[in-house]
């Protein structure tokens, strides 16, 4: 990305920005005061109004200099384990999203199909994350 790792990490630390960069999330209803510490949560909605579903994503691990790991919920589709890793690379950074279904009907989809769908979604999420982060540079 053409922005610093610190700028990306600032976006990840701000739970209220979650629906701005996460494809599928439509709004945030609440963010734990201690976000993104492990065990903290973002209460969000997924889908398009009026067909939204309220659910939560929970921080499993926060690496202040390297990213976050989440258990993202979106029932009835299920739950996914998501890791966003951030590595400085000169004046920019390399950001990767690793995601896979871990519970619910999403796990019934064959892995190659699931991976292809998640890839398309996460490419757009990364594009949005870069856009936000670039505008947070000092």
Domains of the chain and any CATH numbers: 5-134 (3.30.530.20)
> Could you read off the pLDDT of 54-83 as tens digits, one per residue?
999 999 999 999 999 999 998 888 999 999
Distance CA 37, CA 122 (A): 23
Residue 137 — very low, low, confident or very high, per pLDDT cuts 50/70/90? Answer: confident
pLDDT at 66: 97
> Could you read off the pLDDT of 81-126 as tens digits, one per residue?
999 999 999 999 999 999 999 999 999 999 999 999 999 999 999 9
pLDDT at 77: 83
Distance CA 72, CA 124 (A): 17
Q: CA 113 → CA 1, 47, 68, 80, distances in Å?
A: 27, 21, 25, 15
pLDDT at 136: 85
Question: Is residue 50 pLDDT above 90, yes or no?
Answer: no
Distance CA 12, CA 129 (A): 9
> Could you read off the pLDDT of 12-39 as tens digits, one per residue?
999 999 999 999 899 999 999 999 999 9
Question: Is residue 138 pLDDT above 80, yes or no?
Answer: no
The angle, 0 to 180 degrees and rounded to 10, between the axes of the packed helices 5-13 and 111-134 is: 100
In DSSP notation, 88-130 reads EETTEEEEEEEEEEEESGGGGS-HHHHHHHHHHHHHHHHHHHH
């Amino acid at each position: 990305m053409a922005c610093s790792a610190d700028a990306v990490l600032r976006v990840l630390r701000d739970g209220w920005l979650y629906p701005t960069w996460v494809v599928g999330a439509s709004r945030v209803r609440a963010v734990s005061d201690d976000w993104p510490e492990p065990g903290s949560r973002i209460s969000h909605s997924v889908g398009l109004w009026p067909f939204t579903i309220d659910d939560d994503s929970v921080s499993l691990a926060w690496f202040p200099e390297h990213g976050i790991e989440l258990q993202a919920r979106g029932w009835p589709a299920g739950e996914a384990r998501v890791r966003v890793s951030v590595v400085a690379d000169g004046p920019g950074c390399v950001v990767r999203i690793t995601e896979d279904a871990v519970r619910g009907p999403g796990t019934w989809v064959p892995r190659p199909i699931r991976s292809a769908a998640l890839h398309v979604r996460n490419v757009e999420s990364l594009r949005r994350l870069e856009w936000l982060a670039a505008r947070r540079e000092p």
